[in-house]
Structures are given as structure tokens and as C-alpha cells.
């Protein structure tokens, strides 16, 4: 079983697409930051989320990560793609937190669960300024969490 969290209009075939917005016609309507996820314990193989996590506050993220740990199988992977905090997109209306490479380190203090977090990569954009150097503006951060039970 594969989940696409906060899918919006970006729905994936062969995934259960989940969103809070009824108008995007997800497979499941759910408040991912507060609801109990409607899946059995240890039933999910893979979770994907693109440009959703930044719309939650930290307490909602904590709730979501606890629920994902409950429903995911051992060694399941969870991929989050988020805008880097230095990316101007990170400051758009509706984005409730700014995310850096060390984002998940904060949550390790709160958990009685075990995730292995790896920063896959981030893609920098290079924007030429009217100066004799390039300013590096990171675009997105790609995190992979591995559930360990």
C-alpha cells in the first residue's frame, strides 16, 4: 500500500491520495495534522509527500509522524519533498513553517519511535546577481525517513 499525503491536484496512480480539500477529489479526505489515519497498524509500505509538510505547524507534524510510524511496516520509506527555508517559495501564504536540512533532528527529542532520517539531496538554483559572483538559492530538500520497529 502506498500513500500520497497532501496530494492536492497532484494525484498518483496506484497510490491512495489523501488531502483535506474535498474539491481536489482525493481518495481519502483527512486532516493529516490532527486526525487518526484510517489504516491498520503496520499496513503501509511507502509514503510520498511533495510540498505538503510546510503547511503544518510543528505539533501537527509530530502527530503525523507518530501516526505514520503506527501505520507503516518496519523498513517502510517515507519521502518528503519540501521547499528549502532559503527558497522564496518557503515564505508563501499558507506555509506555516520553514524547513532546513536539520528539520527532523528536532523531532528526535520527542519520539518514543525510531526513524532513520537521511537527507537525500537538495537542488540548488543559481541566480546571477549584479555582482561578480553567483548567489546559491536552494530550491527543495528531499528527505527520506526509514521506519525502524
pTM for the whole structure: 0.86
**pLDDT tens-digit profile of 53-106?**
999 999 999 999 999 999 999 999 999 999 988 888 899 999 999 998 888 877
- % of the chain exceeding 70 in pLDDT: 83
- The CATH fold assigned to 2-148 is Rossmann fold (3.40.50)
What pLDDT is attached to residue 122? 55
DSSP assignment letter at 13: T
The answer to whether 36 and 20 have CB atoms below 8 angstroms apart is: no
Strand partners, 127: 135
Distance CA 69, CA 119 (A): 19
Sketch the domain layout of the chain as residue ranges. 2-148
Residues contacting residue 140 through CB under 8 Å, at least 6 positions apart: 81, 82, 83, 84, 87, 122, 123
Amino acid at each position: 500500500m502506498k500513500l500520497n499525503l497532501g496530494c492536492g491536484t497532484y494525484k498518483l496512480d496506484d497510490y491512495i491520495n489523501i488531502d483535506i480539500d474535498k474539491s481536489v477529489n482525493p481518495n481519502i479526505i483527512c486532516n493529516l495534522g490532527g486526525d487518526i489515519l484510517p489504516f491498520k497498524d503496520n499496513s503501509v509500505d511507502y509514503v510520498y509527500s511533495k510540498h505538503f509538510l510546510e503547511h503544518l505547524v510543528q505539533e501537527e507534524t509530530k502527530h503525523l509522524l507518530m501516526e505514520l510510524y503506527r501505520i507503516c511496516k518496519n523498513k517502510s520509506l517515507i519521502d518528503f519533498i519540501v521547499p528549502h527555508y532559503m527558497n522564496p517559495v518557503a515564505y508563501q501564504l499558507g506555509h506555516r513553517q520553514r524547513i532546513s536540512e536539520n528539520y527532523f533532528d528536532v523531532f528526535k527529542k520527542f519520539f518514543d519511535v525510531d526513524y532513520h532520517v537521511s537527507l537525500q539531496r537538495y537542488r540548488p538554483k543559481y541566480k546571477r546577481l549584479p555582482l561578480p559572483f553567483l548567489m546559491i538559492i536552494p530550491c527543495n530538500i528531499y528527505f527520506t525517513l526509514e521506519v525502524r520497529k
